Amino acid sequence: MKLSEIKINNFRQYYKEVNIDLTTNYDENIILIGGRNGYGKTNFLISIVWCLYGRQIEKVDNNFKQEIKKEKNYDSFMFQSLNWTAKKENKDTFSVSLLISEIELPGLKKLNSNSESVIITRKFNISSMSEELMILDADSKMEIFDDEADKINFINDYIIPIDAAKFVFFDAEKISEIANLSIKEEGSFINDALGKILGLDTYDTLIEDIEFYINSLKKEGATKNLQEQIVDKEKAIELFNIDIEKLEEENAEKLKEIDDLKKSIRKYDNFISQHSKQGNSIFDRESISSEIEKLQAKRLELSEKFNELSEIIPLTILTGKLEEVSEHLEIQGKNELSQNSSKENSEKIENFIELLFNKPPEPDNSTMSFKDKNFYYEKAKNLGSELFSDNGDYQELEFEHDLNNSEKNIIKDAINLVNEQSKGLFETTIEEFNEVQIKLLELNKTLSKVDADQEDEYILEAISEKETAEYKRDISKEQIGGNKEKIKKLESDIVRLNQQLQTLMKKVDVNEQNKLKIKESQKNIDVLNSFLEEQKSKHKNSLEKTILSELKILMHKLNSDENSSKFIEDVKVTILASGQGMKITLLDQDDNEIRKESLSSGEKQIYISCLIKAILKESIQSLPIFIDTPLGRLDEEHRDNITKKYYPALSEQVVLFSTNSEITPKRYKDISENISKSYLLFNDGANTNLKNGYFNTTSND
């Protein structure tokens, strides 16, 4: 099935009739619609959804519900949807028409036998506040249905079921919120999606009808009093379920609010970062002043510590003199050793020469004269003195100290004591003092910047708005937590009431005829449940393979050659208890579960995109896909992957509403062979229209 053409007439930014050809072929499956923010991309998407579902548009997706909520209610939303220029021209009606082609139509008398197309038109008149839905045979232009209910059923049965519409029309950035659902919520979501896409919801409805029939048969034999008790329990259960639905809707709205608040906080952070004197950080003046006071007190403490060290200061000054004395004594000691050594050597030389020359024995027939002997005597003495003298180590001193060894040791101990204390006290104290001084200087600079910011009304306003947004975000989180606790309590109450109801039903005296009917009906339920379980089991394996395959293609942590960890290694789909749908589990290489809440915003979008494709792949018919903000919060690598590998293979018809910061000229070129048509929204200041081409690309006719 494809949406071949849309005609928008005086709806929101679109003045008069704007016709858009959306036909695609097998190879060229992408329609690209570009436009700046505020030019009407989202309203283009809303116009299609409104045309199909009218007042039920809020059931399609929470984002559409929020759009209506902005205008207070549906009627106000419709009243504000008439184009402003048309309103000034006293026009009171707007409309949207869709040409739906390639569909299998039922054998209705009013249909041309060869017809595969219908025209769906919805009009709204703000004067009468009336809405009209028409479904025409595209060939004969004859209206097919008279009854409104038949028209609604036709759209749900043969076009796009309203419960499946969230997979057909969505904001890619916001749909990642699905990853934050609880196991029960996700199971229900997947169950509903598969039910509608695969046509299994018909069987679920049939089971519910049979169960209602069985309960009716059981209650027939109950006494009046027993019937009243049963009815009371059933009403209580119904009311509790309504309360749960309301709380879940409220939580969905709160999650949307939190997401919007986070965007606002980021916006204020960016503004403050760009314009604040202190840069990226926001400082609390009171806390800075408090820290300055603490550091000033510390500085005073260190100054007092210097005073406490005053007793050691004289010794510290004296240490220099004592060290001089110590050095002097060391030199004096060396000189004394040198002199003693020299004296000992001289005595040894004298004794040696005396023995050599003046003591017998003498050489035989010696003719050496006394003069010669004396010459050699003196020469030997001088040589001995030169060879064995230690006077090279001798240093001249102005004076010598007359201290004994005990007195010398006292001086050394005094020097060691003062040095130890000065290092342990003075150096540490000085280091601490310097650190305090530096911190005080930095904080005083920051304080001056804060004071400058506090004189800037724009910065102050941004800080105030950010704090308000943070407060609202925290309150919303608390409310969500409170609602979840209420839901748990209500679910527990429902279990208790169901148990009580079963007890009451056992007291009912069912006649034999009704017992047989109940038995046969229960058999039918069992058969239907078995069929559904078989279908789910069949699709379970397919879902696992498709999701994992798509993750491997799209998520760079998986397909990066540099990354050996693989990140997501496997996907498991578990069929939950009857009526609870399926649970999808992401596993790492060690078979540990990866919590979806731990994924980044971009990773969540990739995961949900893979889930959507897997679900659509199981569909019994091809569905067109319309996506706003197609690249959402993805980083550059993920953007390239999803542009080149995901959208060209998503469906036979994929319509993307994008800005030039998402689908850039480079990405446009990457998928150009897959683009059937491209359009650019332009605005003249009041109204929006379309022209062929995409931003700076060559227009196509």
- For 494-520, how does the pLDDT look when each residue is reduced to its tens digit (9 = 90+)? 999 989 888 888 887 878 888 888 889
DSSP state letters, 260-292:
HHHHHHHHHHHHHHHH-TTTT----HHHHHHHH
Find the range with the poorest average confidence among 73-77, 599-603, 664-668.
599-603
Beta strands per DSSP E along 141-249:
169-171
- 194 pLDDT higher than 50: yes
C-alpha span between 152 and 146 (Å, rounded): 11
Q: Residue 19: what are its φ and ψ, rounded to 5°?
A: -100, 130
Spatial contact of 628 and 42, defined as CB atoms under 8 Å apart: yes
- 397 pLDDT higher than 60: no
- 299 pLDDT higher than 90: no
234: nearest Cα among 504, 489, 484: 504
664: nearest Cα among 697, 625, 700, 627: 697
Average pLDDT in the 531-535 region?
82
Q: Which comes out higher in pLDDT, residue 658 or 422?
A: 658
Reported as a single tens digit per residue, the pLDDT across 155-177 is 988 888 887 788 888 888 777 66
pLDDT band at residue 327 using 50, 70 and 90 as cut-offs: low
- 360 pLDDT higher than 70: no
Residue 646: count of CB within 10 angstroms of its CB:
20
Reported as a single tens digit per residue, the pLDDT across 263-282 is 888 888 777 766 655 444 45
pLDDT band at residue 49 using 50, 70 and 90 as cut-offs: very high
pLDDT of residue 13: 92
Q: Two tokens at 667?
A: 């990405």
Residue 244 host element (H or E): helix 224-275
C-alpha span between 631 and 642 (Å, rounded): 8
What's the number of CA atoms in the CB half-sphere (13 Å) around residue 297? 6
Q: What is the largest CA-CA distance in the chain?
A: 167
DSSP state of 647: G
Q: Which comes out higher in pLDDT, residue 581 or 171?
A: 171
Q: Which comes out higher in pLDDT, residue 672 or 701?
A: 672
- 237 pLDDT higher than 70: yes
Amino acid at 286: E
Residue 98 host element (H or E): strand 93-101
Find the range with the poorest average confidence among 262-271, 289-298, 369-378, 535-544.
369-378
pLDDT band at residue 9 using 50, 70 and 90 as cut-offs: very high
Find the range with the poorest average confidence among 10-19, 288-297, 373-382.
373-382
C-alpha span between 691 and 701 (Å, rounded): 10
What's the number of CA atoms in the CB half-sphere (13 Å) around residue 496? 8
pLDDT band at residue 408 using 50, 70 and 90 as cut-offs: low
pLDDT band at residue 332 using 50, 70 and 90 as cut-offs: low
pLDDT band at residue 305 using 50, 70 and 90 as cut-offs: low
pLDDT of residue 234: 87
pLDDT of residue 83: 93
pLDDT of residue 700: 43
Find the range with the poorest average confidence among 105-119, 403-417, 460-474, 476-490.
403-417
The dihedral through the CA atoms of 233, 235, 239, 241 has a sign that is positive
Spatial contact of 574 and 180, defined as CB atoms under 8 Å apart: no
Beta strands per DSSP E along 421-502:
none
* Beta pairing class for 675-683 and 688-692: antiparallel
- What is the percent of the chain with per-residue pLDDT over 70, rounded to a whole number? 71
C-alpha span between 117 and 126 (Å, rounded): 30
- 564 pLDDT higher than 50: no
Amino acid at 117: S
C-alpha span between 680 and 471 (Å, rounded): 40
Spatial contact of 569 and 587, defined as CB atoms under 8 Å apart: yes
pLDDT of residue 653: 92
Reported as a single tens digit per residue, the pLDDT across 86-138 is 999 999 999 999 999 988 766 655 555 566 889 999 999 999 999 999 999 88
pLDDT of residue 5: 94
- 413 pLDDT higher than 70: no
DSSP state letters, 537-604:
HHHHHHHHHHHHHHHHHH-HHHH-TT--S-S--EEEEEE-STTS-EEEEEE-TTS-B--GGGS-HHHH
What is the model's pTM? 0.60
C-alpha span between 593 and 568 (Å, rounded): 9
Residue 229: count of CB within 10 angstroms of its CB:
17
- 608 pLDDT higher than 80: yes
The dihedral through the CA atoms of 268, 170, 253, 496 has a sign that is negative
pLDDT of residue 66: 77
pLDDT band at residue 358 using 50, 70 and 90 as cut-offs: low
pLDDT of residue 178: 67
Reported as a single tens digit per residue, the pLDDT across 685-695 is 888 888 898 88
pLDDT band at residue 10 using 50, 70 and 90 as cut-offs: very high
pLDDT of residue 544: 85
Q: What is the mean pLDDT of the chain?
A: 78
Residue 538: count of CB within 10 angstroms of its CB:
11
Q: Within its chain, how far is the Cα of 527 from the centroid?
A: 44
C-alpha span between 510 and 170 (Å, rounded): 50
Amino acid at 258: I
pLDDT band at residue 399 using 50, 70 and 90 as cut-offs: very low
* Complete edge-to-edge strand list for the sheet that includes strand 625-628: 130-137, 118-125, 93-101, 2-11, 14-21, 688-692, 675-683, 30-34, 654-658, 625-628, 169-171
C-alpha span between 333 and 347 (Å, rounded): 21
Residue 660: count of CB within 10 angstroms of its CB:
17
pLDDT of residue 598: 76
- What is the percent of the chain with per-residue pLDDT over 90, rounded to a whole number? 17
SS3 assignment, position 26: coil
558: nearest Cα among 546, 566, 547: 566
pLDDT of residue 203: 79
- Residue 19, sorted as left (phi over 0), alpha (psi -120 to 50) or beta, turns out to be beta
SS3 assignment, position 209: helix
Reported as a single tens digit per residue, the pLDDT across 454-464 is 545 666 777 77
